[in-house]
């Protein structure tokens, strides 16, 4: 792709073209950096191609880095074009390709050396190459585009090396990069991919005393990827149990882990030295979170909490305290598993397929239905409070559980329950049944079955149908709610290792619909 037009004589105008990449949403797009050095005009750098303020700052860094690395910055007019122009360019990762472009345009680097290479890196004023965001999705994209090599900051190299089939060249300074490209220094070998990130020590279910029904609900939710709501008085252990859900989920598959790691790489949230993230993500935004923080957005679209929770769990603790319009923003992603953020030039589509766990008190004071304390709320207050979790959102919650406070005596005396590791084995076995059953490569977890898969896999016998029919009449359930109940029953059958949904599976599913 790169070419040099004209001769290499100092006074001739020369054009250098290099490959780099930009992130839009959570995806990488190829960008070419074109550097033209000409005698016309005053000595200066002009940047075109929709660079934002952060990229325009690159001018100063590039000039200083070139001079401080022992090279000469041309005393001529330098024009840098980043194309395509319809993606807004942000961040500092264009520094290194721009600097190399300037040196290539002045004839210092042979252009064939930068032909088949994607280059990215931030420069500090002394010429050191600093880490950037998005190295993983960028190298994955480069490999898909058939590029042979990616040159990037050493700090990001292990992350990029997770992608196989492309040479990863780690660099630490501009001077070193030029030495490698001009053959004065051997190309460093591709680094080892970082080992999978160690899973943080998860909170264990065995800490929870009593609460058999709530524990069962967590297991079912995990088994089929269902959304879950805990309702109960303060101190009842709702948050405690919700935080233990990720610990009973099986590790991510390689494909899921790549998606999750790429998202965290773009968001700049990959822990230093972390490789592939193999544990399902867990996000618990505070109830003061804005809609942009939750679903993503901004002038340059950035992923929100629901995208960071992709393939994992989103906990909305004290759900009723979230602003109504913030919660309403969850409807579409809960249904579709993605969020679209429209911008003038392009629409960013972020993945957002997560399990929702919500907790709330039964009323504003929190003690409605509590045998030990009187509730002081008026019926209107209670209605208003519950209305904050609007109907359409409630409809998408498969399991609702009331969580009464456990008496102090039980807390002290009850034996500790099963550990997370134990429950996780049953969850994994239930999920394996779902994967084995689904023939398509699409959604496999019961919670996400489409209409056709529902008709095929969630067949009820006459007794099961009667249970569902009675529940739907008595509680005026929508068709969506009935389908969701059948999916929960399917998961309960999978946990039991049963081929068909039996009446007791359906009955238990109905129980969890009505509990909360
Ligand atoms: N069933 C339980 N088993 C063990 N500890 C519990 C239980 N229920 C509550 N606790 C204790 O009470 C604390 C408060 O619980 P929390 O989850 O914050 O309640 P909630 O979110 O319902 O207000 C927990 O951190 C835990 O120490
Ligand atoms: Mg709580």
> Rounded CA gap, 398 and 359, in Å?
14
Give me the residues paired with residue 251 across strands: none
**pLDDT (mean) for 332-348:** 85
Q: Give the confidence band of 13 by pLDDT, cuts at 50, 70, 90.
A: very low
- Please identify, by atom number, the ligand 1 atom nearest to the C-alpha of residue 403: 22
Strands 77-83 and 27-38 turn out to be antiparallel
**pLDDT (mean) for 81-109:** 90
For residue 316, give the 3-state DSSP assignment.
strand
Nearest CA to ligand 1 atom 14: 235
- Determine which of 11-15, 363-367, 391-395 has the lowest per-residue pLDDT on average: 11-15
pLDDT digits (tens, 9 = 90+) for 291-314: 999 999 887 788 999 999 999 999
Cβ-Cβ contacts under 8 Å for 96 (sequence gap 6 or more): 119, 120, 121, 122, 123, 129, 151, 171, 174, 177
CB 295 within 8 A of CB 52: no
Percent of the chain having pLDDT more than 70?
A: 94
* pTM for this entry: 0.82
Give ion ligand 2 contacts, CB < 5 A.
Answer: 239
Centre of ligand 2 from the C-alpha of residue 235, in Å: 7
pLDDT digits (tens, 9 = 90+) for 252-293: 988 888 889 989 988 888 877 777 888 999 999 999 999 999
Centre of ligand 2 from the C-alpha of residue 419, in Å: 21
Give the number of whichever ligand sits closest to the CA of residue 320. 2
Taking residue 445's Cβ as centre, other Cβ atoms within 10 Å add up to 19
> Rounded CA gap, 433 and 455, in Å?
17
- Determine which of 1-15, 195-209, 467-481 has the lowest per-residue pLDDT on average: 1-15
Which of 283, 285, 216, 213 minimizes the C-alpha distance to 246? 283
Centre of ligand 1 from the C-alpha of residue 245, in Å: 15
Mutation test residue for ligand 1: of 205, 237, 362, 411, the one with most atoms within 8 Å of CB: 237
Sequence-ordered alpha helix ranges (H) in 438-478: 451-457, 462-474
pLDDT value of position 197: 65
Q: Is the pLDDT of residue 319 over 50?
A: yes
Centre of ligand 2 from the C-alpha of residue 317, in Å: 6
Q: Which residues surround ligand 1 with Cβ inside 6 Å?
A: 207-211, 232, 234-240, 359, 406, 411
Which of 53, 51, 163 minimizes the C-alpha distance to 97? 51
């Amino acid at each position: 792709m790169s070419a040099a037009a004209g001769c290499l004589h100092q006074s001739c105008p020369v054009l250098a073209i290099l490959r780099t990449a930009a992130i839009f949403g959570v995806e990488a797009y190829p960008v070419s950096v074109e550097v033209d050095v000409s005698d016309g005009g005053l000595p200066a750098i002009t940047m075109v191609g929709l660079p934002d303020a952060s990229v325009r700052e690159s001018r100063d860094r590039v000039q200083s880095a070139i001079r401080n690395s022992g090279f000469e910055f041309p005393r001529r007019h330098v024009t840098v074009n980043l194309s395509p122009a319809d993606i807004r360019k942000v961040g500092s990762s264009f520094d290194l390709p721009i600097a190399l472009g300037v040196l290539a345009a002045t004839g210092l680097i042979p252009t064939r050396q930068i032909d088949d290479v994607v280059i990215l890196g931030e420069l500090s004023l002394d010429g050191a190459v600093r880490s950037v965001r998005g190295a993983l999705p960028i190298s994955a994209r480069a490999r898909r585009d058939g590029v042979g090599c990616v040159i990037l900051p050493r700090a990001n190299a292990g992350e990029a090396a997770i992608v196989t089939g492309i040479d990863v060249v780690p660099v630490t300074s501009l001077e070193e990069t030029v030495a490698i490209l001009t053959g004065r220094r051997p190309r460093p070998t591709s680094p080892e991919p970082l080992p999978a990130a160690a899973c943080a020590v998860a909170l264990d279910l065995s800490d929870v005393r009593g609460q058999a029904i709530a524990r069962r609900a967590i297991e079912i939710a995990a088994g089929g990827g269902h959304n879950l709501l805990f309702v109960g008085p303060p101190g009842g252990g709702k948050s405690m149990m919700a935080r233990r859900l990720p610990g009973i989920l099986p590790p991510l598959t390689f494909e899921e882990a790549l998606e999750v790691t790429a998202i965290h790489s773009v968001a700049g949230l990959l822990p230093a030295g972390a490789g592939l993230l193999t544990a399902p993500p867990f996000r618990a935004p505070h109830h003061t979170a804005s809609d942009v923080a939750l679903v993503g957005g901004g002038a340059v679209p950035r992923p929100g909490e629901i995208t960071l929770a992709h393939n994992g769990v989103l906990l909305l603790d004290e759900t009723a305290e979230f602003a109504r319009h913030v919660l309403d923003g969850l409807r579409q992603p809960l249904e579709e598993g993605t969020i679209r953020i429209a911008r003038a030039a392009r629409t960013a589509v972020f993945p957002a397929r997560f399990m929702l766990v919500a907790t709330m008190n039964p009323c504003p004071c929190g003690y409605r239905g509590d045998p030990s304390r009187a509730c002081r709320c008026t019926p209107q207050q209670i209605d208003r409070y519950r209305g904050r979790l609007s109907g359409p959102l409630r409809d998408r919650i498969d399991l609702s559980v009331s969580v009464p406070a456990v008496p102090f005596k039980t807390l002290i005396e009850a034996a500790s329950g099963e550990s997370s590791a134990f429950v996780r084995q049953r969850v994994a076995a239930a999920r394996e049944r779902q994967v084995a059953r689904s023939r398509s490569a699409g959604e496999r977890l019961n919670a996400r079955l489409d209409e056709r898969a529902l008709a095929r896999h969630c067949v009820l016998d006459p007794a099961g149908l009667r249970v569902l029919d009675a529940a739907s009449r008595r509680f005026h359930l929508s068709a969506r709610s009935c389908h969701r109940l059948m999916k929960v029953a399917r998961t309960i059958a999978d946990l039991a290792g049963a081929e068909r949904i039996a009446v007791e599976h359906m009955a238990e599913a109905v129980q969890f619909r009505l509990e909360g």
